[in-house]
Amino acid sequence: MPANLCGTWDLISNVNFEGYMIALGISRPVRKIALKLKQRKVIEQQGDQYIIKTISTVKNYTISFRVGQENGEFTQGLDNRHVKSLVTWEGNKLVCEQTGEKKNRGWAHWMEEDKLHLELYCEGEVCKQVFKKNVNE
């Protein structure tokens, strides 16, 4: 099993989050607020079972999954779509395919040095996020 992604991670870089949100059909007023949020990831793991929390001052979003096991995901409070999500390891990357109305939708997490990286994909748009470990939480 590749790198340990567990911990509390604070967003330090967020490239093309706007493009990703437009691809998801998020309205302009919501995008303006979302762009200013300081997102935090809290990742917990027990064996193949993961919980990933995305936390901000106005909205939280939590998923839990088992690696290699497809499960239904409802993106409640985000774009409010139902997708089928499958998370697998591809080399050192934890990769999620979100099959549904939006094409080429998914994400990938991996570690580079001491930083947590995330790419969010939707219909050709790629948002690139980098997080640094919060050692106080």
Would you tell me which residues interact with ligand VL7 (CB under 6 A)? 21, 24, 26, 30, 34, 37, 39, 41, 52, 54, 56, 59-61, 63, 78-79, 107, 118, 120
107 or 135: CB nearest ligand VL7: 107
CB of 5 to ligand VL7, least distance (A): 9
61 or 89: CB nearest ligand VL7: 61
9 or 113: CB nearest ligand VL7: 9
CB of 54 to ligand VL7, least distance (A): 4
β-bridge partners, 109: 94, 118
Query: Is residue 101 within a helix (H) or strand (E), and if so which, with residue range?
Result: none
Nearest to 122 by CA among 95, 104, 98, 100: 104
CB contact at 8 A, 13 and 132: no
The whole-angstrom separation of Cα 23 and Cα 101 is 12
52 or 86: CB nearest ligand VL7: 52
CB of 8 to ligand VL7, least distance (A): 13
Which residues fall within 8 angstroms of residue 46, CB to CB, at 6 or more apart?
A: none
